């Protein structure tokens, strides 16, 4: 099939590449500053595992072409795939409205964008209301983006399940055919109405956020009860009614899509006239949790933080990402700056984004390419993003480099007993 994929999102790049790898002819439409335009150059900055080599392979094979986001779909297009950013809803309607009147009877529009609930139905109305359009031709379906950054390509090629929202049986069958190469181990496609698929995506992320915030609340309570949250976490996870996923307490969650989905769910509940008390509390807990390491530092130094040096390891919102959207480190850095603290930061990939966020050269923000240089002379080290290289550093060297061997572990990756035997003062999230 000839597919035209629109969007600068990770979802668009992964979808276009994966679909091209199965033999489809795919044109990926992106903006001028998209990383897709630097695919054959050294500037390609998207570090999604496996994506760049596969994109380059498909491009050289002639199955994947890159085109401007402003370019209309080719007349040979049989599938219009929308994986746009949440603020690009007007563009989605323009693309659908601009389709010719004589499209194929089974012309398919796949909405994979994170738009409000009901958008797929609205796009269907736009399709039907085109001048001269035949109401029997074409369908818009919802295939929500369930990809996880850092494992997005794997998540598309070997998914646990798909959500497919379609009102027309032929459209469901056509989507199943598109996804067939990625759906061979078992039938993981769950068919439902478009509105149900869109809402399911939001509900999934709302539940995951609720579990995270609940565990953070339990970890904070464990601190006051002299309880080790790690034992509690394992006990809870062993109960088959609960399971182990998303029970790890920490210093808050971030990420553009995840945070926006939870906020969108809260907004949807409010607009429906229902009280969004639980989801709003989840968001409030998360914002408070982003300051938990600061509060521990504040208490340890008895509020005397001015002039101190604090090192931060990890500012990306999650490992294997260069993005800092809503990252806990940002709120933490601002709290430290407000107390006159000089902040020294290391992160394997996110330093350019942090420099752009800071906006200008600052005496109280120093970026380091080496984690031990960031910690040298520090009055405390805060681990915020659990990159694998941080799990087992040279602790003897680290202790020798630091002015005060104070570790604030925002992800509970270090063993408290071992850290204390090694001569560190250790504070985790609900750890003893």
CB 102 within 8 A of CB 73: no
Q: How far apart are CA 169 and CA 414, in angstroms?
A: 52
With contact defined as beta carbons under 8 Å apart, do 364 and 341 qualify?
A: yes
State how far the Cα of 277 lies from the Cα of 284, in Å rounded to an integer. Answer: 10
d(CA 253, CA 261): 13
For residue 248, say whether it is annotated as part of any ligand binding site. Answer: yes
Is 198 labeled as ligand-binding?
A: no
Number of Cβ atoms within 10 Å of the Cβ of 317: 27
- Please tell me whether 254 is known to bind a ligand: yes
CA distance 40 to 52: 9
Is 155 labelled as part of a ligand binding site?
A: no
247 is in an annotated binding site: yes
Does the annotation place 201 within a ligand binding site? yes
Q: Which element (helix H / strand E) includes 160?
A: none
* Residue 149 assigned to a binding site: yes
Using CA atoms, how far apart are residues 399 and 97, in angstroms rounded to an integer? Answer: 63
**What's the CA angle centered on 89, arms 168 and 176, to 5 degrees?**
30
Task: Give the span between the Cα atoms of 59 and 53, in whole angstroms.
Answer: 10
Residue-wise burial string across 232-255, b where 16 or more C-beta atoms lie within 10 A, e elsewhere: bbeebeeeeeeeeeebbbbbbbbb
Residues placed in the known binding site for NAD(+): 114, 149
Binding residue ranges = 114, 149, 201, 246-250, 254, 318
Annotated binding site for substrate: 201, 246-250, 254, 318
């Amino acid at each position: 099939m000839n597919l035209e994929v629109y969007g600068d999102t990770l979802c668009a790049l992964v979808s276009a590449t994966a679909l091209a790898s199965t033999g489809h002819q795919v044109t990926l439409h992106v903006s001028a500053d998209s990383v897709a335009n630097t695919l054959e150059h050294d500037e390609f900055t998207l570090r999604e595992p496996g994506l760049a080599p596969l994109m380059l392979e498909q491009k050289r094979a002639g199955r994947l072409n890159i085109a401007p986001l402003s370019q209309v779909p080719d007349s040979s297009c049989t599938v219009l795939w929308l994986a746009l950013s949440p603020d690009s809803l007007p563009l989605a309607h323009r693309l659908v409205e601009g389709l010719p009147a004589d499209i194929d009877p089974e012309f398919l529009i796949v909405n994979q964008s994170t738009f409000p609930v009901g958008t797929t139905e609205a796009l269907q109305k736009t399709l039907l209301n085109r001048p001269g359009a035949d109401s029997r031709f074409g369908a818009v379906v919802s295939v929500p983006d369930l990809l996880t950054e850092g494992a997005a390509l794997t998540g598309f090629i070997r998914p646990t399940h798909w959500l497919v929202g379609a009102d027309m049986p032929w459209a469901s069958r056509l989507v199943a055919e598109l996804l067939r190469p990625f759906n061979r181990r078992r039938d993981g496609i769950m068919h439902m109405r478009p509105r149900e698929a869109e809402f399911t995506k939001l509900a999934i992320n709302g539940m995951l956020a609720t579990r995270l915030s609940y565990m953070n609340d339990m970890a904070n309570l464990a601190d006051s009860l002299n309880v080790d949250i790690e034992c509690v976490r394992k006990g809870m996870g062993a109960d088959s009614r609960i399971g182990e996923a998303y029970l790890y307490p920490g210093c808050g969650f971030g990420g553009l899509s995840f945070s926006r989905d939870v906020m969108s769910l809260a907004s949807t509940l409010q607009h429906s006239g229902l009280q969004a008390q639980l989801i709003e509390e989840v968001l409030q807990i998360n914002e408070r949790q982003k300051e938990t390491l600061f509060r521990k530092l504040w208490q340890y130094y008895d509020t005397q933080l001015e002039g101190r040096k604090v090192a931060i390891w990890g500012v990306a919102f999650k490992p294997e990402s260069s993005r800092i959207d809503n990252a806990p480190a940002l709120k933490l850095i601002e709290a430290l700056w407000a107390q006159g603290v000089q902040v020294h930061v290391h992160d394997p990939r996110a330093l350019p984004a942090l420099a752009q966020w800071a906006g200008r050269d600052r005496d109280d923000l120093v970026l380091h390419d080496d984690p031990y240089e960031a910690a040298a002379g520090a009055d405390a080290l805060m681990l915020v993003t659990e990159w694998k290289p941080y799990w087992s550093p040279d602790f003897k060297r680290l202790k020798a480099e630091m002015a005060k061997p104070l570790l604030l572990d925002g992800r509970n990756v270090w063993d408290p007993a071992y850290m204390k035997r090694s001569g560190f003062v250790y504070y985790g999230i609900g750890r003893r």
